[in-house]
Amino acid sequence: MTSPVTRNVSILAVALALSACSSLNLVSEKPEAAALDATGAVIHPALWPTGHSGVAADAKVDAQVADLLAKMSVEDKVGQIIQPDINSITVDDVRKYRFGSILNGGNSGPGGNDRALAPEWLKAADAFWAAEMDAPEGRPAIPLIWGSDAVHGNSNIIGATVFPHNIGLGAMRDPDLMREIGAVTAKELRVIGGDWTFAPTIAVVRDDRWGRTYEGYSEDPRIVKDYASAIVEGIQGRPGDADFMAGAHVMATAKHFLGDGGTDGGVDQGDNVYGEEGLRNVFAPPYESAIAAGVQTVMASYSTWRGQKMHGNHALLSDVLVGRLGFNGFVVGDWNGYAQLPGCSKESCPQALLAGIDMYMAPDGWKALYANTLAQVKSGEIPMVRLDEAVTRILRVKLRAGVLGEPKPSARAYAGQWDLLGAPEHRAVARRAVRESLVLLKNENRILPLPPKLNVLVAGDGADNLPKQSGGWTISWQGDGNSRADFPNGSTIFEGIRDAVSAAGGTATLSVDGSAAAKPDVAIVVFGENPYAEFQGDRANVDYQSGNRRDLKLLQELKARGIPVVSVFLSGRPLYVSPEINASDAFVSAWLPGSEGAGVADMLFKKADGTIAYDFHGRLSYSWPRAPEQTPLNVGTEPYYPLFAYGDGMDYAHPRNIGIIPEAPELQASIANTDRYVEGGQALAPWKLAATRDAITVTGPKINLTRNTDGDMALVVTLHVGKTPTAPTSLGVAGGVVDVTEMLRSAGVTATVAVRLSCFRAAGADMRAVDTPLLLSSRGGVTATIVSAGLSPGVGAPVCPPAPQT
């Protein structure tokens, strides 16, 4: 416990008084100081470095491309530049439209099942390949390529090896291990017939409020640059080698070009307001490195640069990326990213192609997009020369990867070798990555490493929780809905501790709430963030558990019982946890370690003979805040006064105590909660729940749900229904209303209603300013109570409910 005086230290005053200089010279985080000048959003390509692809031009390949292009109809060419999601197409669609590529989104899978087992994925790959190769007479059969978010291992697949997320890998400072991780990921993707991963993310993250912070290796472009080339080589192989993008290797994607990690306020898909110099010096270096390593696809960012969407930024996509940096692969858009351009929709966007997007990622609007793009080419709105350029780039990459000469996916190298998914040698690489990624931030009186022959209490909701330790982009998009059974080859942190302790004659007892029949020798408490992905993880600040520090209470209760406490913190970013650190004897940042929880246990215990098994290697690749609102916080900027600086991290060889650290005042409930409205029948701050005879409403501050709507999120409401409605009943959001009478009539006492946000927008809701995210009303009176309400991905019927009855 700290005194009230200590808890109310003015962090700002201390920061201004004690800010220190740094050797890394980067641009200011303040938008008004970020080289804003008369040039506005103008790019000067001549000021950008001249780069070269690691894949040299090949006259033979170019001749093959020209030959194919000459045999293709304009319909064939348009098909090549469109990439639909497998949940919105059939095999017959592939046969008819001749797509250049397909993808599986975060919640997509064969037959609509994102939890399909590995053999079903390979079977689907064969079916789509066969349909594509069934070309009309006289037309070339050009195999499609299948893109997948294998972002920390082949993490869509049950049983695959799941590596730590990138934020942990950045702490390793180990490019060689990154190559191994890339190679394992590629091989496990080959097992299911995959040939393209949408990885690596090479964002330089400059504001930890961003919901994709854990996808970035570091706030420092130097680390990201070093890793970009290493991971690309691991995934693709080395240019010039016989197995480049072949055999055990697949195509890689450098994403998201450009500046996605530097948006103002850390808002996902937001606006990067850095000056051109900052854009060039902070965010571009990793792309230079990836291009030099031969990366063959680059994904455009959702974000804007000074108000201009990247999907429509010709200067950056064409003049800089291709013209100056030397990229000679193809540019793919992000999920419906083109539809965000002014004047565009999911069904039509010539602007994106003209700006430099070579392949539209069109998960669900592909059919109308195909028809409109075809018409725009025929009318001359899209010049044939630009269409041919895009198709040429795609075909060139396919030829380099040997796609045109390969048999069906199941007949390729490693396909169907199910024992490679989560193979012991692959898991060993992941376990080593876990060990190297952990950062020791506190170790008072050398409590760690622990002797294994102890009575160990293991507490916290992250202790025996593989979904939580793996985070988002794991099996499902948000990492939700997963269970221990979805990780047959993994280990929880508790399981690793139990095995280490029992092998030495000790005992390990799991008790999530910390209760125990007898006093243990030590408590290891594992806690932290729950899984999230993309904008669902955006925050208003970097406080952990604002307003309800339930994990802190658990730590304090254990300490009050005289039990030494070792905290293991799971998170996708550095967060303000000074009270939790003060309530711990040791504190380990474990990030999101993935499937190999035993790697965490490796670091906490001595060998049975008392010697150190493994010392801590990880060093912070992000600066750690000393206050809830201390963000942005990046090395090389002033003032710079973090709690733990970039590069910090203890080890057993150099012990030190940190004592009690200052604590900042608690924050009040934040508007950051934009997606959870009611739980257990109670409104969650800052929302208010009100009920009258005719309606139940949730109201609060205005929030922008545009991204959530574009991301196919749904409003999910669980109710206790007192009486089946006899009068029309409607559900509304921000003025957009749909009829849910039949949904409630067909349900039982407990009903769950899921309606996509896009349905409310189609009904007239303004999703840019939502202050009533839920309105349930009935002419005959509402005889129901709301148990829970919030937003969820991947649910809700694709067909919207009808308009309310009149």
**Cα–Cα distance measured from residue 387 to residue 382, given in angstroms and rounded to the nearest whole number:** 7
Of 87, 196, 89, 193, nearest in space to 151 by CA:
196
Mean of pLDDT values over 169-197: 98
Tens digits of residue pLDDT in 359-388: 999 999 999 999 999 999 999 999 999 999
Least confident of 30-39, 340-349, 643-652: 30-39
**Cα–Cα distance measured from residue 717 to residue 107, given in angstroms and rounded to the nearest whole number:** 20
At 388, which helix (H) or strand (E)? Answer: helix 384-400
Residue 209 has pLDDT above 80, yes or no: yes
Q: Which residues pair with 332 in a beta bridge?
A: 299, 359
Residue 794 has pLDDT above 70, yes or no: no
Q: Which amino acid makes up residue 512?
A: V
Angle at 102 between CA 99 and CA 106, to 5 degrees: 160
Residue 800 has pLDDT above 70, yes or no: yes
Mean of pLDDT values over 241-247: 97
Assign residue 662 a region: left if phi > 0, alpha if psi is -120 to 50, beta otherwise? beta
Tens digits of residue pLDDT in 623-670: 999 999 999 999 999 999 999 999 999 999 999 999 999 999 877 655
What is the predicted pLDDT for the residue at 806?
63
**Cα–Cα distance measured from residue 664 to residue 181, given in angstroms and rounded to the nearest whole number:** 39
Torsion of CA 390, 391, 392, 394, to 10 degrees: 90
Give the confidence band of 748 by pLDDT, cuts at 50, 70, 90.
Answer: low
**Cα–Cα distance measured from residue 561 to residue 541, given in angstroms and rounded to the nearest whole number:** 33
Q: Helix (H, G, I), strand (E, B), or coil: what is residue 212?
A: coil
* Count of CB atoms situated within 10 Å of the CB of 432: 20
Give the confidence band of 251 by pLDDT, cuts at 50, 70, 90.
Answer: very high
What are the C-alpha distances in Å from 546 to residues 576, 614, 673, 770?
Answer: 10, 35, 11, 23
**Cα–Cα distance measured from residue 145 to residue 128, given in angstroms and rounded to the nearest whole number:** 10
Angle at 530 between CA 557 and CA 583, to 5 degrees: 25
* Count of CB atoms situated within 10 Å of the CB of 413: 14
Q: How far is CA 606 from the centre of its chain?
A: 35
Mean of pLDDT values over 464-471: 98
Average pLDDT, the chain: 92
What is the predicted pLDDT for the residue at 796?
65
Q: Helix (H, G, I), strand (E, B), or coil: what is residue 33?
A: helix
Angle at 332 between CA 328 and CA 335, to 5 degrees: 165
What is the predicted pLDDT for the residue at 659?
96
**Cα–Cα distance measured from residue 666 to residue 629, given in angstroms and rounded to the nearest whole number:** 11
**HEC assignment per residue over 87-102:** HHCCHHHHHHHCCCEE
Residue 100 has pLDDT above 70, yes or no: yes
**Cα–Cα distance measured from residue 71 to residue 69, given in angstroms and rounded to the nearest whole number:** 5
Q: Which amino acid makes up residue 470?
A: S
As a 3-state breakdown, the chain gives helix, strand, coil percent values, each rounded to 5, of 35, 20, 50
b/e per residue 761-784 (b: at least 16 CB within 10 A): bebebbbeebeebbbbbbeebbbb
Residue 37 has pLDDT above 80, yes or no: no
* Alpha helices by DSSP H, 118-202: 118-133, 166-172, 175-191
DSSP conformation class of 504: T
Q: Whose structure tokens read 């839920």?
A: 774
Give the confidence band of 804 by pLDDT, cuts at 50, 70, 90.
Answer: confident
Residue 14 has pLDDT above 80, yes or no: no
HSE-up of residue 747 (Cα within 13 Å, Cβ side)? 21
Of 693, 683, 711, 724, nearest in space to 767 by CA:
711
Of 604, 610, 605, nearest in space to 588 by CA:
604
Residue 479 has pLDDT above 70, yes or no: yes
Residue 24 has pLDDT above 70, yes or no: no
Mean of pLDDT values over 671-691: 83
What are the C-alpha distances in Å from 566 to residues 394, 447, 464, 467, 528?
Answer: 52, 8, 16, 22, 14
Interhelix angle 221-236/175-191, rounded to 10 degrees, is: 40
Least confident of 414-428, 655-669, 697-711, 744-758: 744-758
Q: How far is CA 297 from the centre of its chain?
A: 18
**Cα–Cα distance measured from residue 471 to residue 487, given in angstroms and rounded to the nearest whole number:** 13
Mean of pLDDT values over 76-103: 98
In terms of residues, how long is the chain?
A: 806
Give the confidence band of 264 by pLDDT, cuts at 50, 70, 90.
Answer: very high
Tens digits of residue pLDDT in 416-429: 999 999 999 999 99
Angle at 539 between CA 534 and CA 540, to 5 degrees: 150
Q: Helix (H, G, I), strand (E, B), or coil: what is residue 417?
A: coil
| Paired tokens of 107 | 């919640």
* Count of CB atoms situated within 10 Å of the CB of 262: 30
Mean of pLDDT values over 206-230: 98
What is the predicted pLDDT for the residue at 31?
40
Q: Rg of the chain over CA atoms, in angstroms?
A: 27
**Cα–Cα distance measured from residue 730 to residue 774, given in angstroms and rounded to the nearest whole number:** 10
What is the predicted pLDDT for the residue at 723?
75
Tens digits of residue pLDDT in 541-598: 999 988 789 999 999 999 999 999 999 999 999 999 999 999 999 999 999 999 999 9
Tens digits of residue pLDDT in 426-467: 999 999 999 999 999 999 999 999 999 999 999 999 999 999
How do strand 522-528 and strand 565-570 relate by DSSP bridges? Answer: parallel
| Paired tokens of 682 | 């109670």
* Count of CB atoms situated within 10 Å of the CB of 559: 17
Mean of pLDDT values over 703-725: 84
**Cα–Cα distance measured from residue 13 to residue 16, given in angstroms and rounded to the nearest whole number:** 5
Q: Which residues are catalytic?
A: 334, 534
8 A C-beta contact, residue 737 and residue 801: no
Percent of the chain with pLDDT over 70: 93
Tens digits of residue pLDDT in 526-535: 999 999 999 9
| Paired tokens of 620 | 């912070």
